[in-house]
Amino acid sequence: MSQATLRIQKISGHAGSIPGQDTQRDLQVCKLVDTTTCIGCKACEVACVEWNSMPFSPTTFDNTYQTMPDTRWNYWNLILFNEHEREDGSLQWLMRKHQCMHCAEPGCLEACPADGAIVQYSNGVVDFQQSNCIGCGYCITGCPFNIPKLNSVTKRVYKCSLCTDRISEGLEPACIKSCPTGCLHFGTKEDMLDLAGQRTKQLKEHFGYGNAGVYDPPGVGGTGVIYVLHDATKPELYGGLPANPSIPFVVKLWKHPLKWLGNLAIAGGLIGLFVHYLRFGPKAREDEDIPPVGAQP
């Protein structure tokens, strides 16, 4: 499995064809996060920091279990806590493992202008290549999940790599390996959807969660991280998970119609001016100011 999974199917800011694209079909990898069995222990956070050799990240205290408000350039995986009061007044403690969703249609990759700074492997993993990153931050604008984070010193953007270095060697991602409750699963997208479906059925039939469901948003072509939610009709309750995420409309407008209209206008303008000169030439010749030789005063 090792090298085959690293074949590339999408490259950011890339002119021309993509070498090896579509030569081989690969299984799509997927993380399944079952929020109904997550206990918010943060083992996955620690495993992520350890495996990726990232330093201790300072925490903030805001009278909740939330250790920091958001992921950081060197903190890719964060449990978001929400003490949700239900309509009957009872408390529901919602926890969600927040990280890069590895969209099938990644907004970051769409927005990125740097050749090869963001790639999508044929197994669906979206990975940042910091050596090619120019630090413009367009990926931050393109992402509907608020994931890419800029290191203000190195001016490069970072995020979860779905442990590409591990999964290409047949290992499961570090977060999955560390989960003590088994709320995290890793496998093919097909298998994870199947498992998520079974769990949803269980939640509906045996636990009374009538609105239980799977979060796999079609607006971004589906994601490489899917959630089982107690109430799939209100994903926002889980740390602001967007109900219907998609690549921002302006990013699509900018990267497609505006780009082609702009390119046509620039090329048309250059050709137009050149043809104008061929047809009409200069308005007057500079030497018209000088009387011709032998002219009468």
Partner 1 sequence: MTHREQLTPHGHVLRYTFPERLNHWVAAGAYLYLVATGLAFWSPWLFWIAVMLGGGQTSRMLHPWAGLIFASSLVYMFVKWSKQMKFEPVDKEWWKSLHFYITNQDDKMPPAGRYNAGQKMLFWSFFFGGLVLLLTGLVLWFTDALPWSWRWLRYVAVILHPTAALITIGNFMIHVYMGVFAERGAFGSVIRGDVSMAFAKRYHPSWYEEIVGNSQPRK
Q: Name the residues that contact partner 1, by CB under 8 A.
A: 13-15, 70, 111, 113-115, 132-138, 140-141, 146, 149-150, 152, 155, 248-251, 253-254, 258-259, 262-263, 265-266, 269-270, 273, 276-277, 280-286, 288-289
Q: Between 217 and 239, name the residue whose CB sits nearer to partner 1.
A: 239
User: What is the smallest separation between the CB atom of 201 and partner 1, expressed in angstroms?
Assistant: 34
* 52, 121, 122, 132, 190 from 6: Cα distances, Å: 18, 6, 7, 17, 20
Please provide the DSSP assignment of 73-94 as one string: TTB--EEEEEEEEPTTS-EEEE
C-beta of 267: minimal distance to partner 1 in Å? 11
Give the residue among 258, 250, 265 at the shortest CA–CA distance from 111. 250
Structure tokens at 21: 């694209």
Looking at the Cβ atoms of 135 and 187, the one nearer to partner 1 is 135
Residue 286 DSSP SS3: helix
Contact 104, 132 (CB under 8 A): no
Minimum Å distance from CB 162 to partner 1?
Answer: 22
The span from the CA of 17 to the CA of 193, in Å, is 32
| Residue with Cβ nearer partner 1 (56 or 280) | 280
The residue whose two tokens read 């309750």 is 237
How many Å apart are CA 242 and CA 261, to the nearest integer? 32
Q: Smaller CB distance to partner 1: residue 4 or 270?
A: 270
Q: What minimum distance in Å lies between the beta carbon of 140 and partner 1? A: 6
Q: Burial of 106 by CB count in 10 Å (0-12 exposed, 13-18 middle, 19+ buried)?
A: buried
Q: Which is nearer to partner 1, 210 or 291 (CB)?
A: 291
Burial of 168 (0-12, 13-18, 19+ CB in 10 A): middle
Nearest residue (CB) to partner 1, 221 versus 248: 248
Report the residue number, 137 or 221, with the smaller CB distance to partner 1: 137
250: helix, strand or coil? helix
Ranges of H-type helices in 132-243: 138-142, 164-167, 174-178, 189-206
Contact between residue 199 and residue 183 where contact means Cβ atoms under 8 Å apart: no
Run of H or E residues at 279: helix 259-280
Least CB distance to partner 1 at residue 73 (A): 9
Q: Which residue's CB is nearer to partner 1, number 93 or number 277?
A: 277
Q: How far is the CB of 106 from partner 1 (least distance, A)?
A: 16
> What's the min distance (Å) between Cβ of 269 and partner 1?
5
Q: How far is the CB of 81 from partner 1 (least distance, A)?
A: 17
Contacts of residue 240, defined as CB under 8 A and 6 or more positions apart, other chains included, come to 80
